[in-house]
Structure 1
Amino acid sequence: MHGNAVVVGVDGSEEATRALRWAAQAARQRQESLHIVHGFAPITGFDGAGLAVLQQAHDELVKTADDLVADAVRTAREAGGPDLTITTDRPTEAGAPALIEASRAARTVVLGCSGTGGFTGMLVGSTTVEVAAHAWCPVVVVRGRENADGPVVVGVDGSPVGERALAAAFEEASWRGAGLVAVHVWSDVDSGGHPSMVPVALDWEEIAADERRLLAERLAGWQEKYPDVVVERVVARDRPRHQLLSWSAQAQLVVVGSRGRGGFSGLLLGSTSQALIHHAQCPVMVVRPQAGS
């Protein structure tokens, strides 16, 4: 795998194939290589027992996996064009560990919103959630509609991971030639969902003005670095997930930190990122706090 490649997980599902096309197009546009990973766990308990039936079943599974990877390469070539560099890996381990390992040398890992290994009734497969929570690089979950003319939307909350999400969002907007909508939400509800202990006579307009100033300060340095990116600032008294889910209806990508301000330290994915990867109407990029943390 080339350094800074776009890594994509495939499992033969419709969702994964859609993610594969999205990843191939992104790699082509960025002039980066595409690395296709199909985590394949062969039959266990066979231990060289010499049972012909088990050996045949194992060989058939291997052939199926090889065929799946070959099909993925053809699909990626169609989407990414003849000049796209494509590499593949079929590690003998389940999808999530294989993709987390591949993420060490990747720019981005791209996944479908479901796929094998998910439980019926879950909107997002378990592999997708696990990789989004543990990857060493940003993870894009391809879901909803694709709106190439829409803006990149980012949640800004002032946390360290929020700053990393802001950096990723500006970079994405710049190479896509897209506008950026920076959404900063404030609320009179604390992280536990209860009204904060604040005086009823609080001046909400004054608070809103303060929040607008804070957002402007957060954006200033990035706007200098990316003068080509036109930024729209949104400050709202709401919950982050409500605002970002609403914006996802017109965005081409929503960028969010994996766990924002007020998130519990033991949770690897916060409520906002969980809500987006389950319900957003466009692809979602989840940015981790720092490599492998």
Structure 2
Amino acid sequence: MNEILLGVDPREQSVPALVWAADESVRRGLALRLVVAVPPAHNGLRYDALARQSALTIRAESAVANAEDLVRELHPGLRIATERVNGVPATVLRDMAQHAALVVVGSRRLGRAAETFSESSVVVPLTARADCPVVVVRAPEHTAVHPSTLVVGVDGSESSRAAVAFAVEEASLREARLRAVWVWPRSVLTRDDGEEGLAERRRLLAESVAGWAERYPDVAISEEILRGHPVEQLALTSQESLSLVVGRRGRGGYSGMRLGSTVHGLLHRAPCPVITVPLPQRERRTGDPAWTDRSRAGTADRPVSAAPLGTGRRPSPRGTVRRADAPGPSEGSAER
């Protein structure tokens, strides 16, 4: 949990995602690991497939090198590691997320079907299954708006409580206000659509954010209940926000079902970075602020050395790994 993971896209690297990840690494005092995945070649014995794989590998190495150069220009003292991995990008990043505080990716704005089922899709499969929060950056964040604000979607569920825990910490790091928003869909079928229903939701919203203002007195937290469709209202509310934080509550099935319809819609509609927070692991008690402090522990002593990482041993993700600081394979041999 001592690094932030950035997925580098060899086809078209998202500069906003790269900048967001580098800035967040500095804010949290964590190292930044740049990872580029090379998808496996189909019909690998054919000459044209091998040639295509070779071209993808060259492009991937160039992309991760360019990303590293840009990060070093932005933050010369930041600790950086780079890796090229052979494997399906979403699977590689998901496996490596087990050892990261955050995973950051850009978005190529694929259609919903392509994002869910395509082998080249990263955003939906990764967001649905990663063990740590995933940040999807489609465009630069709204840093020119003052005072700075973050939005967190709340619905009283365990997953939204995890989102609140993350959002309060992030707001503190960003010296921003936090808007806790509960969207109440309109329905002619429910009986609690009046004052009693409103009072109940106000109570649940207050319970969801209870205790966080005392732990983070530097964060001004507002509570809002809006009527309408959750995706539409949260997208509108976050128009000038630094980011939108939501919990992941989908269960089972394919990636879109695991993600939940609201998060799935926000990945397409939200005009700011979307941070999806999974449920804490069993040893992390839901609603306990202690689990969010895992990435603040290193903020007192920010790194000053730019020496690359990658020397420590860690479980390899699925696929083939070649670390940037390790010698490459000998000529004519297969990669390890």
Partner of 1:255: 245
Q: Tell me how many residue pairs correspond in the alignment.
A: 273
Stretch moving more, 16-25 or 127-136: 16-25
Deviations along 1:3-48, whole A, 9 cap, x unmatched? 331111111344533211211111122221111110113545445x
How far has the Cα of 1:269 moved from its partner?
Answer: 1.0
Deviations along 1:80-131, whole A, 9 cap, x unmatched? x11111111111102111100110001111011217xx46996897211110
How far has the Cα of 1:290 moved from its partner?
Answer: 3.9
Distance (whole Å) between structure 2 residues aligned to residue 11 and residue 222 of structure 1: 37
Q: Which of 170, 173, 176 does residue 172 from structure 1 map onto?
A: 170
Are 1:68 and 2:58 counterparts?
no
Q: Which of 181, 195, 201 does residue 183 from structure 1 map onto?
A: 181
How far has the Cα of 1:74 moved from its partner?
Answer: 0.7
Distance (whole Å) between structure 1 residues aligned to residue 108 and residue 138 of structure 2: 9
CA RMSD of superposed structures (Å)? 2.7
User: What pairs with 1:81-96 in structure 2 (closer than 5 Å)?
Assistant: 81-96=75-90
Distance (whole Å) between structure 1 residues aligned to residue 35 and residue 199 of structure 2: 48
Pick closer, same or farther for the CA change 1:104–1:120 going to 2, 3 Å.
closer
Distance (whole Å) between structure 2 residues aligned to residue 134 and residue 30 of structure 1: 24
Partner of 2:273: 283
SS at match of 2:101: strand
Stretch moving more, 89-98 or 120-129: 120-129
Deviations along 1:206-234, whole A, 9 cap, x unmatched? 32223222212221222222111101111
SS at match of 1:38: strand
Distance (whole Å) between structure 2 residues aligned to residue 144 and residue 46 of structure 1: 36
Partner of 2:228: 238
Q: Which of 28, 31, 45 does residue 29 from structure 2 map onto?
A: 31
Distance (whole Å) between structure 1 residues aligned to residue 51 and residue 13 of structure 2: 30
Distance (whole Å) between structure 1 residues aligned to residue 72 and residue 198 of structure 2: 49
User: What pairs with 1:1-293 in structure 2 (closer than 5 Å)?
Assistant: 3-14=1-12, 16-46=14-44, 58-79=53-74, 81-114=75-108, 118=110, 126-148=121-143, 149=145, 150-189=148-187, 195-198=188-191, 204-259=194-249, 266=253, 267-291=257-281
Indicate conservation of the 8 Å contact 1:39/1:92, yes or no.
yes
Indicate conservation of the 8 Å contact 2:248/2:260, yes or no.
yes
Deviations along 1:248-273, whole A, 9 cap, x unmatched? 211110000122xxx66542111110
SS at match of 1:268: helix
Indicate conservation of the 8 Å contact 2:185/2:230, yes or no.
no
Distance (whole Å) between structure 2 residues aligned to residue 234 and residue 256 of structure 1: 15
Distance (whole Å) between structure 2 residues aligned to residue 232 and residue 197 of structure 1: 27
Compute the TM-score of the two structures, normalised by the length of structure 2.
Answer: 0.73
One-letter amino acid matched to 2:215 = K
Pick closer, same or farther for the CA change 1:203–1:34 going to 2, 3 Å.
closer
SS at match of 2:10: coil
Indicate conservation of the 8 Å contact 1:10/1:17, yes or no.
no
SS at match of 1:229: coil
One-letter amino acid matched to 2:69 = R
Indicate conservation of the 8 Å contact 2:16/2:140, yes or no.
no
How far has the Cα of 1:289 moved from its partner?
Answer: 2.5
Stretch moving more, 238-247 or 171-180: 238-247
Indicate conservation of the 8 Å contact 1:42/1:62, yes or no.
no
SS at match of 2:161: helix
SS at match of 2:37: coil
One-letter amino acid matched to 2:76 = P
Pick closer, same or farther for the CA change 1:244–1:203 going to 2, 3 Å.
closer
One-letter amino acid matched to 2:58 = K
Pick closer, same or farther for the CA change 1:26–1:208 going to 2, 3 Å.
same
Distance (whole Å) between structure 2 residues aligned to residue 215 and residue 183 of structure 1: 8
